Amino acid sequence: MDCLRELEGKHAHDPLFEKNMNKPSRVFVPGPVIVGAGPSGLAVAACLKEKGVLSMVLERSSCIASLWQLKTYDRLRLHLPKQFCELPLTGFPSEFPTYPTKEQFLHYLESYAQKYEIGPRFNETVSHAEYHKVIGFWRVKTVGKKLEETEYVCRWLVVATGENAEAVVPEIDGMGEFGGDIKHTSYYKSGEEFTGKKVLVVGCGNSGMEVCLDLCDYSAKPSLVVRDTVHVLPREMLGQSTFGLSMWLLKWLPVRLVDRFLLIVSRLMLGDTARFGLDRPELGPLELKNLSGKTPVLDVGTLAKIKSGDIKICPEIKKLKRHAVEFIEGKTENFDAIILATGYKSNVPSWLKEGDMFSEKDGFPRRPFPNGWKGECGLYAVGFTKRGILGASVDARRIAEDIARCRNEEAAPSDRSVLMKTPPPPPPSFSCLELDLSRKC
Ligand SMILES: Cc1cc2nc3c(=O)[nH]c(=O)nc-3n(C[C@H](O)[C@H](O)[C@H](O)COP(=O)(O)OP(=O)(O)OC[C@H]3O[C@@H](n4cnc5c(N)ncnc54)[C@H](O)[C@@H]3O)c2cc1C
């Protein structure tokens, strides 16, 4: 990225930029630092760029959108129609299908990053970020591939590490004893390696359901652990995407009526899912999503396989044995492998040291959508709305507007035109404060 090369050139002559073998490198970033180069981080960087604000994106892996590139299965397509998964400013190519494949989505993101000249610093894991009250800046520490440390000092910090930063792996009694493969869906690519095998999939969200279907396609014998109630809806109804139709209906009708409509049509199209072991929650799908963030499953063919008996439904696991699984109702069955479709969690509390904006408990902003995007002291969050890329896009636009406004307000009127083109110099008192900080390092 040109701006980074330019910055590095400047740093070579910059007394505030330190690099020596014994100390962490220190980089003063004149604009915002964005942690995470997934769709959310890219969206903020692009919106900022459009407003003339240069940012620096830090990414722990070696590529953009690492969740999509490295941790998703081969057959994955966007779960929602493309118009609901666009990043701000640039839509999908018109020739893309309604539900783009993973490769198409990644191609879109790569082109997006190129178009807005977003060149993240890869292999930099943010391990600590804290606001320094005295100097009024964020200090963001990263660890590189060779364990080298760098400290970025910035005025604005955008958290874009996502709702899916770490895999959730449940503790199951006897896990160490089980002789077969146990893997989280983030390591599952396709059913090819499971042909002819009995596989137990734990978790009945969109991923668990789709992995079961994929296993069927590769002639494996999947069973699905369902321990909770779940809403399964057809992906399309009345010739429309269920998601799009719901959004449209919500403009005119209260959520409970829309839920009732969705459940009636689902019943007509899919039958009574409880008959196949998939009980529905008491709350409707949209009300439940609003209250708990739990996403309904959009069926892409799994239900038919459950009905035909190709996918068996199992109760909760009690314990694992060498080659078998004991279920809570007492039955024991042999399995060759277990796939954990048990979801993900935020990792924010592990590195962001602040007590107000993010909850320690779940790593999400305490204030729900649409108010969770902005904290104190130049702290922002993007992509924690439980509303996918659509929610992230709303956040990204707001954040960019706010940072640009803040920069403009802080700049003297006569400086404005200059500010929009070049990064501002560090505050005059910064060098002495920097000395203070060095002593602490
Ligand atoms: C299987 C699957 C299918 C999905 N389908 C859809 C869909 O169709 N439509 C939709 O809207 N949403 C979908 N989602 C939700 C999807 O995850 C998000 O919409 C999207 O990826 C969120 O982007 P993000 O940038 O917020 O998070 P992520 O894509 O998770 O990106 C976060 C980035 O931050 C990096 N990071 C994390 N911690 C650190 C750290 N400490 N230091 C530096 N970097 C860090 C990660 O490596 C990652 O690259 C799906 C999710 C999954 C798992």
Query: 305 CA to middle of ligand 1, Å?
Result: 29
Range of lowest pLDDT (91-95, 175-179, 264-268, 424-428): 424-428
Say whether pLDDT at 417 is over 80.
no
Q: Is 58 in the pocket of ligand 1 (CB under 6 A)?
A: yes
DSSP 417: H
CB within 8 Å of 410: residues ≥ 6 apart = none
The separation between CA 357 and the C-alpha centre of its own chain, rounded to angstroms, equals 18
Q: What percent of the chain has pLDDT over 90?
A: 85
pTM: 0.89
Residue-level pLDDT at 430: 35
Distance from the first to the final alpha carbon of the chain: 29
Instruction: Please give the Cα distance from 116 to 47 (Å, whole number).
Output: 9
Residue-level pLDDT at 8: 46
**Could you give the angle at the alpha carbon of 94 between the alpha carbons of 38 and 252, nearest 5°?**
80
Query: 189 CA to middle of ligand 1, Å?
Result: 17
Where helices occur in 361-429 by DSSP H, the ranges are: 388-410, 416-419
Query: 65 CA to middle of ligand 1, Å?
Result: 7
Residue-level pLDDT at 293: 87
Residue-level pLDDT at 106: 98
Say whether pLDDT at 40 is over 50.
yes
Closest CA to 105 of 123, 84, 124, 119: 84
Say whether pLDDT at 321 is over 50.
yes
Say whether pLDDT at 412 is over 90.
no
Residue-level pLDDT at 440: 29
Give the pLDDT band of residue 411 (cuts 50, 70, 90): confident
Query: 239 CA to middle of ligand 1, Å?
Result: 29
Say whether pLDDT at 316 is over 90.
yes
Give the pLDDT band of residue 429 (cuts 50, 70, 90): very low
CATH 1.25.40.10 for domain 31-165+346-424, yes or no, is no
Q: Is 67 in the pocket of ligand 1 (CB under 6 A)?
A: yes
The CATH superfamily label for domain 168-344 reads FAD/NAD(P)-binding domain (3.50.50.60)
Residue-level pLDDT at 374: 97
Atom number of ligand 1 nearest to Cα 125: 42
Domain range list for the chain: 31-165+346-424, 168-344
DSSP structure string for 113-157: HHHTT---B-S-EEEEEEEETTTTEEEEEEE-TTS-EEEEEES-E
Residue-level pLDDT at 413: 59
Say whether pLDDT at 41 is over 90.
yes
Helices H / strands E in the chain, number of each:
13, 23
Q: Do domains 31-165+346-424 and 168-344 have the same CATH topology?
A: yes
Residue-wise pLDDT tens digits, 19-29: 445 567 999 99
**Cβ pair 271, 112 in contact under 8 A:** no
Residue-level pLDDT at 172: 96
CB within 8 Å of 129: residues ≥ 6 apart = 35, 138, 139, 140, 141, 157, 351, 352, 353
Residue-level pLDDT at 278: 97
340: left (phi over 0), alpha (psi -120 to 50) or beta: beta
Give the pLDDT band of residue 355 (cuts 50, 70, 90): confident
CB within 8 Å of 258: residues ≥ 6 apart = 246, 249, 250, 284, 286
Residue-level pLDDT at 59: 98
Q: What is the mean pLDDT of the chain?
A: 90
